[in-house]
Amino acid sequence: MSKRKSSNSRLTPDKRSRLSQPETEEDGEPIYFSAGDGLSQSQSVTGEVGIIESISLRNFMCHSLLGPFAFGPNVNFVVGNNGSGKSAVLTALIVALGGKALTTNRGSSLKGFVKEGESSADVSITLRNRGRDAYKPEKFGQSIVVDLRISSEGIRTYKLKSHTGQLVSAKKEELVSILDHFNIQVDNPVSILTQEMSKHFLHSKGEGDKYKFFMKATQLDQMKEDYSYIMKTKTLTQNTVEKHRETLLELKQKFRDKEERYKSLASLDEMQQKLNELKNQMAWALVAEMEQEMKPMKEQITAEERSTVKYDQKVEEWKGKVDEANKISKQLQDQLESVSERMQQLQPECSELKSRVQERNRELKTAEAALHRKRTNLRDLEKDKDQLNKRIKELKHSISQMNSADTQARVEKMNHIQAELEELSFRDSTLAQQIDQFKQACESAKERHARMSRERQDLQRAIDSKQRDLAAMESSRNNQLRRFGEHIPALMEAIDEAHHRGKFRMKPVGPLGFCIRLRDQDLALAVECCLKALMLAFCCDNHADERELERIMGRFYQRGRRPQIIVSRFTNMLYNVGNRAVSHPDYPTVLQALDIENPVVANCLIDMRGIETILLIKDNRDARRVMQSKGGQAPRNCREAFTRDGDQVYTNRYYSSEQHRAQYLSRDVEEEIRHLQSALQTQRAQLDRFQQDMQQVGEEERQNQTLLRRAYDDRKKVQERSRKLQAELTELQNVEEPQSEDLKPLEEELEELSGRISVCGEEFEALRRQTQTCKKEYEEAEKVFRQKKEAVNSIVEEVEPIKERLNNSDQEVERSKHHRKHYEEKRKTHLQMIETLKTSLNQKEQELQAAIAKASEICPERSDVRRTAKSLDSEINRLKSKINTQQDQQGHRDTIVREYHEAREKFGKISRQVKGLDAFIHQLSKIMTTRHNVYAEMRMYLSVRCKYNFHSMLSQRGYKGKMIFDHKNEILSISVQPGEGGKADLSDMRSLSGGERSFSTVCFVLSLWEIAEVPFRALDEFDVYMDMVNRRISMDMMLKIAASQRYRQFIFLTPQNMSSLPINSLIRVLRLNDPERGHSALPFSQRNPE
């Protein structure tokens, strides 16, 4: 809020006491005066303050000089054509009396009012200052001259002069006070209605604009703003009171502190005595606390000394286990060396037997080749014999004519028998070979069938195992635990249930393979081959939990097939293995390759397998290079290594893995399922082929057995037939008969051939027997070799379990050594802790004796103190501080008393101020409630007067109108009925013609004039858009109002010729001439001077 508002609120009651505003008498009831009450009194009275006596312009807008114009005290008409300077006069009036450039609607900046080419513009206005309401008449006199200068930069400067021309003030604040005193409102459109404002009001379609026009004209908006400012001030005052209340609390606390200091002046001796007592108690309280501190130390030493026996037992226990494990390892090593010795002993014999089999095989092949040659020779001799017999038969046929029929028949029969014997001999030889072949084929088929049966069983077991693995893998899609066995999920649920029932002291952890994660997936097979059965193992905190877990496992597993249970004390700290772990720059240990969240799992694997001492080396050659270098030195602390393929590498041994894929730690379950399905399909196809091959081998064996039996029967029949025919032939040969001399050489040759055939047959039989002997020797040698080979294989089969047991034994040795070392270190740490405790106890005892001696000096008699030294020390320090403060202030007692009284007085003063402000706010709230009510009544009263005046003025033209105020929504709607009443309906002003609207607007403005309190009114082109009739009626109404309000000044600017105006001393016409080229000043003529 500006200074003007406060001034206005102070001066308004004096000015309104003689006007139509409500006043209040001593009894508080409002009294109202009508507009006509003071008419008779004011008809001969002219305005005394605030009216414009004269105005002059220099270099203002486009005019070099206008004026000075001398205005009359009542009605003034400023007439002239466009460009003559009417609007310039009105604009200069607004600007000179403090209005803004935007209010004039002639420019946005003051520098725009300076004539082009000039450095400044000047405006001079003379205001009347007479009568009892004059403003500082002792300084200004009968009139006040307001001189305004506007620079080309838009800077406005004022000079306020007296009627004699003497400078009184150059401050704008003085001008604002003058305007407030005279109630001059240049920004009020009812006071000064410019041409642009008039046009805007005529064309305005907003009912809100009309309401604002009404509020501004009646100064109700200023009153509303004043009340709003008062309420804001009230809110600020309330906030200030709240801050004072906060300050009041601080002052109250300060007052109490001063009061306490004031009262404490008499208690210094009492506090000093109490301080001495507290010091005595403090001395023995320290002794008591030290004694209490020593009690748990003594108890702890006693308990720890009892625990030493347990550590000794554990160390001895694990020493025994180390010795036992070393003993078992030595036995297994001896067994392995013994088996290796046996295998080395059998190796030369096996090689010799193999050489013998090969030698017998060569002899058999040689014998079979000789037998084949002899068989070919025998066939050739038999063929020659057949040809010779044929020749003899031909000769005998010729001789037969000379012999008798009996002789001929006997010869023919002998020939027939001889031929059949030869055929039977050949057939017997063939059957003998067939029998050997069939026997060999049967034995080979039997052996193949047995071998294939064993292989089929192995393959079936492998298929069953893969089916179980596949089922576990498929189940692990939804439950990863199924990888570790079909019973594991149910087992884990049973463990959880038992744990919830409190069956375990600590819940078992497992399977261990489920609790670990790989950092490098390529090492999955290596880790599984390293941990083996530990992947399925469980870990228990104590033996009671172990027994409970065994009982639960018995519901799911048969004895001997249960997962391993390891008993090891649970701890939340991972073992410190830095001193015994392997550190290699290129290859990680198993511990480093695993991500293990549970320290119990990591510690268990360290104890059972020593995973911190096992390296993982992906490449086989790198593993051999690292572990089996020429120097024989593996990396420090490294016992063994595993490759990516699962091979196990020691410094002097290398074992290939029988497992080819990871079963538990593979990340891609679907890939493992596909691999198992593919492998299972391949093995099933292989099993089907085995079945077919076994059926085929069995069928071959049966066929060979049948053929063998048949060959035995056929040979038996052939030999029986040969004996009968030989006997018959011998009998026929013993019969003598005459032979021709020509047949004798042939018969001799035949006999020689027979002899040769017989010899060759005997040699063939000998070779056949030799071949059979060689074959038998070969078979016997092969049988002995096979038996020896099977013995070697059985020894090899014995080696693997021994190796496995030896490996486990080595691990057990390392684990036992680790535990022994662990307990030795714990015992060592335990003993060191006991020594530390004893040293601390001795030191405490010495401190106790010193404290007792010191306490005895302070207070010889020991007192029973129940308070702690800390609380006593706190109270002692507080008392010391208080005593020191009191002692420091002992020499300034007057200061303490003075500060106490000052604090009490200040606290009382602020308290009274807060109460006074509270009362003021309360009273202000009541006053503002009354003011708001009066404001509402005044608004209602002014709106009723405005309606009445509006209807009265419209009726002079024969119009009817309706004016509706909506104070809640701040809108004013005006309806006008032109013409004769009853023949036309009321319509909004926007639907009227230009002249009708201008007339209605003039009526509205005049009705506001009746209720507005300003010393002068100015209208610019009020009759725009009016016809002659409306202009005449409007003029008559304005002149009538001016005649009734002679104490006010009226200034009308119009381009119309006002020659029809009546000649009257109250009316002054200022006629402006059109400017002529080259004239620097515009002359004006004046009619009817006052």
- Smallest CA-to-CA distance from 589 within 614, 625, 623 is with 614
Q: Which residues contact 660 (CB under 8 A, 6 or more apart)?
A: 525, 645, 646
Nearest to 49 by CA among 139, 172, 169, 137: 137
Q: What are the structure tokens assigned to 310, written together?
A: 């347990």
Strands in 971-977's sheet, in edge-to-edge order, are 960-966, 971-977, 987-988
CA 153 to CA 172: how far, in whole Å? 18
**Would you state the pLDDT for residue 495?**
92
539 near 569, Cβ under 8 Å? no
Report residues of the chain scoring pLDDT below 70: 1-47, 198-205, 262-270, 272, 396-408, 469, 472-480, 559-560, 630-632, 667-672, 734-743, 886-894, 979-996, 1022-1026, 1075-1090
- Which amino acid, 120? S
Domains of the chain by start residue, with CATH: 1-182+1021-1090 (3.40.50.300), 189-218+897-1013 (3.40.50)
Provide the pLDDT for residue 809.
Answer: 77
Per DSSP, the three-state class of 181 is helix
Q: What span, in angstroms and rounded, lies between the C-alpha atoms of 600 and 510?
A: 10
Interatomic CA distance for residues 283 and 277, integer angstroms: 10
- As a three-state string, the secondary structure of 1007-1040 is HHHHHCCCCEEEEECCCCCCCHHHHHHHHHHHHH
Tokens for 132, please give them.
């009892």
The pLDDT score that the predictor gives to residue 313 is 84
CB 34 within 8 A of CB 118: no
Across 670-687, b (16+ Cβ under 10 Å) vs e yields: eebbebbeebbeebeeeb
CA 807 from chain centre, in angstroms, equals 49
Rounded to whole angstroms, the Cα distance separating 589 from 651 reads 16
- List CB contacts of 155: < 8 A, sequence separation 6 or more: 110
Backbone angles phi, psi at 161, to 5 degrees: -120, 160
DSSP 85: S
The tokens for 117 are 């080419």
- DSSP string covering 507-527: --B--GGGGEEESSGGGHHHH
Residue from 1058, 1072, 1019 nearest 69 by CA: 1072
- C-alpha pair distances (Å), 622 with each of 571, 653, 874: 37, 15, 72
Instruction: Enter the pTM of the model.
Output: 0.40
Helices 669-733 and 405-475, packing angle to 10 deg: 170
Q: Measured between alpha carbons, how far is residue 830 from residues 297, 311, 317, 574, 759 in Å?
A: 15, 9, 18, 19, 103
Q: Report how far residue 361's alpha carbon sits from residue 785's, in angstroms, rounded to the nearest whole number.
A: 13
Q: What is the model's pLDDT at position 2?
A: 39
- pLDDT at residue number 745: 75
Please tell me the distance from the alpha carbon of residue 202 to that of residue 504, in angstroms, as a whole number: 99
pLDDT confidence of residue 9: 35
Rg of the Cα atoms in the chain: 70
- 766: phi then psi, degrees, rounded to nearest 5: -65, -45
pLDDT at 43: 42
Axis-axis angle for helices 599-609, 524-531 (nearest 10): 60
